[in-house]
Amino acid sequence: MHDAQQPVLVMNSGSSSLKMQLHPNGPSLVVERIGEPSGATLRRNGVSLPADDIGDLQDAVQRCLALLSDSHDLTELRLVGHRVVHGGEAHTEPTPIDDAVLASLEALSPLAPLHNPANLQGIRVARDALPGATHVAVFDTAFHGRLPRRAFLYALPMPMYREKGIRRYGFHGTSHDYVTAQLAVKLGTPREQLRIVSLHLGNGASAAAIRHGTSVDTTMGFTPMEGLVMGTRSGDVDPGILMHLLREGTAASDLDDLLNRRSGVLGLSGVSNDLRDVWSAADDGNDDAAAALEVYAYRIRKAIAALAAAMGGLDAIVFTGGVGENDARMRSLACQELAFIGVSLDEDANARGEARITAPGAQVETWVIATDEEARIAELVRHVTTEGHPS
């Protein structure tokens, strides 16, 4: 068992990036563009540092640990929390990692091919570098682990769920959990009394219905590809399109690349997966860019109304993620024509980037709250190692 106040090193390993932060008060380290021809970049608390010696994820982990050891005695570190995107049905709580757990997570990699392999590589490197610490996996899917079957089942033959685990899992759970808990504090109302639509909007995007503290529906599904339009991911498409492309001779690997890396905002606009670039192009008269923004916002708007229906009503909306926190124009566009369910923005407050952007007299509270998945991961790791279960 561990002291509930002791430091936790939180790691989020991606295919070409690494985020590492020592909680509660340690520095934040971000490595990006790992393995790219232009070379990696490294920032400590937002300040750029030389990164010429970083060629792969192992180099990134070792460099970041060396930087941390300049100010912290890592031989005393006992807790490391790892973000893992997909936990399947077997992992719905934060889980201390041993070889058997690692093997079970390897088997889930095909369900999140952009994420899980990189997550697991980071775990292996960190376990070798910090063998005296307890390493804990915290899953993006876990917060959605109590979805009712009406929400998680697909209308496919039931053996596909029972024997193959094909169902909706949902993702961004740590973020949805964190921001809805923060929103409840700001509203002065227990989360257990609220019906909230949480919108995590970034290069990956998902919406979730949080009723009385529990996720009861969400837009991402069996993989992080379903649902809203994303930076390079398609979101919802008619599966008949995929059958059509297969019959035309498109390889499965090409479909994977199309849906995960060449679609979404990038595919629609032909400009970029970054909404800042797409807005700029649309403002300059690029009609494809304008179309991408319209579709992106429209899907969010439909999701808000659908998730309100899933909860039997709506008390609050919270925006988070890189787009949700910073793109006032997209927030405005996404909330248009939702007055019929009580949603109305204070456009001036929204444009100023205030936290509360609810119009006077609106029935539904609308807020913008910065997510802090690392803080929530650290909290969960402490709970699971001090009490044997998360709070």
DSSP 345: B
Contact 295, 330 (CB under 8 A): no
d(CA 110, CA 120) in angstroms, rounded, equals 13
Q: Going by DSSP bridges, is the β-strand pair 79-84/134-139 parallel, antiparallel, or unpaired?
A: parallel
53 flagged as catalytic: no
Cβ contacts of residue 326 below 8 Å, gap of 6+?
A: 353
Q: Is 242 helix (H, G, I), strand (E, B) or coil?
A: helix
Strand order, beta sheet including 47-49: 47-49, 41-44, 28-32, 18-23, 8-13, 79-84, 134-139, 95-96
Tokens of 47: 């300040």
Q: What is the CA radius of gyration of the chain?
A: 21
**Using CA atoms, how far apart are residues 134 and 345, in angstroms rounded to an integer?**
45
Catalytic residue among 52, 73, 140, 277: 140
Measuring CA to CA, how many Å separate 253 from each of 107, 152, 166, 212, 339?
Answer: 19, 26, 20, 41, 43
For the record, the structure tokens of 367 come out as 């807020």
Instruction: Give the length of the chain.
Output: 391
CB atoms within 10 A of CB 43: 14
Element (H, E) at 159: helix 158-164
3-state SS class at 30: strand
Would you name the residues annotated as active-site residues?
Answer: 140
